[in-house]
């Protein structure tokens, strides 16, 4: 073995040691924040579902909010599970029950892929909510005929099927079994990939779908719709201000026509959707960028040269995803008078 090979091995060993130590320090902090934010997020999403069920589904957007809260709730639970699995104490806990496996495979199998299902489904629902608001602004009179309860149920059902369906490709070729370990002199549980080429292609297809197609498409859709809604809200504000400063009959008439296009209640709901969408854009962009890069750079993966960098960045993006899934109740409480009244009534009753 020549000096160049020894130097490469030594550098790889140093990088591996440094990455592992940094990762365990980062993950210990991430676990603390994940559980703190997660507990509040779980309570918040359960209350959100209860409040909108109490308010009823006479408004179709309430159905979308409930579906979004349900996905956010599952997203938070899967993030908390992934954080717990990354703890060294959890590895020791599994070993006591004869479960020994590569924790990366275990976390992917039980936590990471379920997280992708619910987080990407929540992103698609957010895109639908933004599109629904755009239609309400463009067609304020006909929108109730376009977006009915039946249409909303159908759209949400399709979103759940699209969001959950491709995970079948992710789990194709993954196996788990009990084996006898002669070193430990006991039967132990193992999870692994069989390495068949056809299965690997299916797994990569799932990675591209959840890592590139869904994040980018939902992010672009929400961004475009949010930009349109902000422009319409600003135009309405300018017209109302002009009406105040120049109260001539002609201007008043023109402004009243414009005001009828966006009723006050629609403006309030639109502002709520805009805030939710902005939070989604801010929190999901690093997530989409991380997953998009991992979809096309083989070394930037859990089995590549940047293994620990991937895990550190993923922990950071998981926290952002958890924040995005936890703060909607704050927005609903601040912006919705009916939601706020129903929430206080529900809490006081409890």
Angle at 35 between CA 34 and CA 41, to 5 degrees: 85
Angle at 168 between CA 277 and CA 77, to 5 degrees: 50
> Regarding predicted confidence, which is higher, 128 or 103?
128
In a domain, residue 177? The reply is no
pLDDT in tens, 18-56: 556 666 667 677 778 888 889 999 999 999 999 999 998
> Regarding predicted confidence, which is higher, 286 or 186?
286
What is the CATH classification number for the domain harbouring 120?
A: 1.20.1070.10
Residue 136 belongs to domain spanning: 3-172+210-349
In a domain, residue 200? The reply is no
- For the cut 90, the answer to whether the pLDDT of residue 237 exceeds it is no
Domain count, the chain: 1
333: Cβ contacts below 8 Å, ≥ 6 apart: 339, 340, 343
Angle at 202 between CA 199 and CA 204, to 5 degrees: 110
pLDDT in tens, 157-166: 999 999 998 8
- 11, with CB counted inside 10 A (0-12, 13-18, 19+), is exposed
Mean pLDDT (whole number) for 64-82? 92
In a domain, residue 183? The reply is no
In a domain, residue 103? The reply is yes
In a domain, residue 107? The reply is yes
> Cα–Cα distance between 329 and 276 in angstroms, integer?
10
pLDDT in tens, 89-117: 776 766 666 565 566 667 777 788 888 89
Indicate the pLDDT class of residue 336, thresholds 50, 70 and 90.
confident
Are residues 251 and 97 in contact, defined by beta-carbon separation less than 8 angstroms? no
**Using a CB cutoff of 8 Å and minimum separation of 24, what contacts does 161-168 make?**
162/124, 163/117, 163/118, 163/120, 163/121, 163/124, 163/214, 164/117, 164/121, 166/205, 166/206, 166/209, 166/210, 167/113, 167/114, 167/116, 167/117, 167/206, 167/210, 168/206
In a domain, residue 143? The reply is yes
In a domain, residue 11? The reply is yes
> Cα–Cα distance between 261 and 259 in angstroms, integer?
5
- For the cut 60, the answer to whether the pLDDT of residue 177 exceeds it is yes
- For the cut 60, the answer to whether the pLDDT of residue 342 exceeds it is yes
> Cα–Cα distance between 304 and 349 in angstroms, integer?
54
Q: Which of 75-79, 137-141, 318-322 has the lowest mean pLDDT?
A: 137-141
In a domain, residue 197? The reply is no
Q: What is the pLDDT of residue 23?
A: 65
- Residue in 252, 272, 255, 329 with CA at minimum distance from that of residue 136: 272
Q: Which of 6-10, 43-47, 297-301 has the lowest mean pLDDT?
A: 6-10
Q: What is the pLDDT of residue 258?
A: 46
63: Cβ contacts below 8 Å, ≥ 6 apart: 57, 149, 152, 153, 156
């Amino acid at each position: 073995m020549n000096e160049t090979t020894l130097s490469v091995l030594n550098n790889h060993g140093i990088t591996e040691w440094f990455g592992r130590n940094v990762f365990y320090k980062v993950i210990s902090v991430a676990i603390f924040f994940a559980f703190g934010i997660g507990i509040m997020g779980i309570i918040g999403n359960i209350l959100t579902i209860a409040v909108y069920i109490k308010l009823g589904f006479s408004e179709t957007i309430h159905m979308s909010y409930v579906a979004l809260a349900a996905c956010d709730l599952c997203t938070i639970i899967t993030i908390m599970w992934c954080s717990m699995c990354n703890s060294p104490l959890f590895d020791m806990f599994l070993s006591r029950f004869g479960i020994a496996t590569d924790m990366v495979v275990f976390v992917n199998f039980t936590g990471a892929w379920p997280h992708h299902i619910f987080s990407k489904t929540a992103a698609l629902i957010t895109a639908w909510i933004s599109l629904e608001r755009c239609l309400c602004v463009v067609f304020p009179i006909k929108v109730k005929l376009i977006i009915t309860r039946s249409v909303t149920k159908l759209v949400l059902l399709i979103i759940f099927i699209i969001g959950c369906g491709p995970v079948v490709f992710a789990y194709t070729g993954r196996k788990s079994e009990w084996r006898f370990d002669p070193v430990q002199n006991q039967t132990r549980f193992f999870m692994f990939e069989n390495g068949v080429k056809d299965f690997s292609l299916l797994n990569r297809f799932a990675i591209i779908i959840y890592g590139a197609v869904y994040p980018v498409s939902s992010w672009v859709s929400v961004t475009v719709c949010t930009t349109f809604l902000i422009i319409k809200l600003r135009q309405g504000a300018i017209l109302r201000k002009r009406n105040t400063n120049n109260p001539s009959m002609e201007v008043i008439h023109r402004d009243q026509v414009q005001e009828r296009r966006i009723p006050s209640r629609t403006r309030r709901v639109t502002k709520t959707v805009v805030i939710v969408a902005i939070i989604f854009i801010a929190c999901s962009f690093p997530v989409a960028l991380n997953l998009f890069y991992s979809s096309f750079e083989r070394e930037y993966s859990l089995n590549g040269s940047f293994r620990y960098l991937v895990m550190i960045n993923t922990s950071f993006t998981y926290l952002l995803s958890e924040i995005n899934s936890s703060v909607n109740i704050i927005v609903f409480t601040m912006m919705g008078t009916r939601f706020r009244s129903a929430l206080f009534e529900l809490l006081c009753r409890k």
